Amino acid sequence: MSAVQQGPAVERGGRPARYTAGGGVVLVAALAYLPYLVDTGVTQAMVVFFYLAAMALMWNLLAGYAGLVSVGQQAYVGLGAYAVLQFSNWGVAPFLGVWLAALACAVIALPTSFAAFRLRADYFAVGTWAIAEVYHLLVIQDSSLGGGSGSALTTLSGIDPVLRDAETYWTALAVAAVCVLGCFLLLRGRVGLALTAIRDDETAAGSAGVRVGPAKRTVYLAAAAGCGAAGGVVIVSQLNVAPDSAFSVQWSASMIFIVLLGGIGTLEGPLLGAALFTVVQQYFGADGAWYLIVLGAACVPVAVWLPRGLWGVVARATPLRVFPLARRVRAASPTAAGPGR
């Protein structure tokens, strides 16, 4: 027998990834059982957390990994909400309409991306906001969707409120779980490597053979689908939609704040930021605009002294990684081979 030297290899999975997968399944199962244990006030607060987390994950996917800073993701939140309303008018169950709304937003985002990607840096950010306003104005012109005053989602009004809240909760949980899983799988693959290169230097990435356009478009469509599904959850939880609120830039402001607070460029950060934002909103939302002023003031020192957010502090202090995205090189090792000739 002779030994053959096996070259170094890149590992992406390993034990941490298996722990994440197993823990994720247990956590989702436990959360799915929550409506049987708590009252509707708790589940309604969790619905807010789920759709905010989904939105923040999508914005982080764009800005934190692809370097595409958008202030127009409210376009797909609004389009997702109105898509659920339109599908409901066509006889589609609203909870099924949430998933169809995600697909519809991805389809709409495809031609939109060709216009948006003609812009760079600050112009891209402003351009996405302008695109959102265009969609806002188009929806207002459609009288079948309620025009400027919006419309109610009447197809859910006849369902028992407790059952409706539970189904809304499960749909929101599923949307958040799919967004987390989708981001995790996307970033662990070739697209994740391409996005890292594009974020650091788009020109150099293109020169090195990275397919910049397809990678950015993949992320843009994924973010549109995720925000569209979150917008669908918003309308089924509130049972009505109005264009000014559905297309409000406040959605993008919330996404940006959550990501900066939790930690940009990580998957853990948006989840942590969404949890903190939801708690503050639930306890201090009745104080009106004051809690927003406090949140904005708190964001300044975080951005200055904690550029990697709160999760960055945790990551520096401990080896804890909930979502192991990093790759490591496995050293070469000899393997046994059959007798040579």
Give residue limits of the domains in the chain: 2-337
pLDDT score at 212: 79
Q: Which of 1-15, 90-104, 155-169 has the lowest mean pLDDT?
A: 1-15
User: Which residue type, as a one-letter code, is found at position 108?
Assistant: I
Residue with tokens 């589609």: 92
pLDDT of residue 164: 92
**Residue 60: its pLDDT value, please?**
94
Q: What is the pLDDT of residues 262-307, one digit of tens each?
A: 988 888 999 999 999 998 888 776 666 677 777 777 777 777 787 7
Confidence of residue 6 (pLDDT cuts 50, 70, 90): low
Given pLDDT bands bounded at 50, 70 and 90, which one contains residue 341? very low
Helix axis angle, 94-116 relative to 161-188, nearest 10°?
Answer: 40
C-beta separation of 58 from 226 below 8 A: yes
* % the chain with pLDDT above 70: 87
The answer to whether residue 104 scores a pLDDT higher than 70 is: yes
Lowest mean pLDDT among 43-47, 137-141, 244-248, 284-288: 284-288
List Cα–Cα distances, 109 to 88, 112, 123, in angstroms: 22, 5, 18
| Mean pLDDT in residue range 167-175 | 96
For residue 12, what pLDDT band results from cuts at 50, 70 and 90? Answer: low
For residue range 17-73, list pLDDT tens digits in order.
Answer: 677 778 888 899 999 999 999 988 899 999 999 999 999 999 999 998 888 899 999
* Lowest-confidence region among 126-135, 243-252, 303-312: 303-312
Burial of 338 (0-12, 13-18, 19+ CB in 10 A): exposed
Q: Which of 71-80, 140-149, 196-205, 326-335 has the lowest mean pLDDT?
A: 326-335
**Type of residue at 260:** L
Q: Residue 2: count other Cβ atoms within 10 Å of its Cβ.
A: 9
| pLDDT at site 1 | 47
Give the span between the Cα atoms of 246 and 136, in whole angstroms: 9
For residue 339, what pLDDT band results from cuts at 50, 70 and 90? low
Class of domain 2-337: mainly alpha
Q: Mean pLDDT score of the chain, rounded to an integer?
A: 85
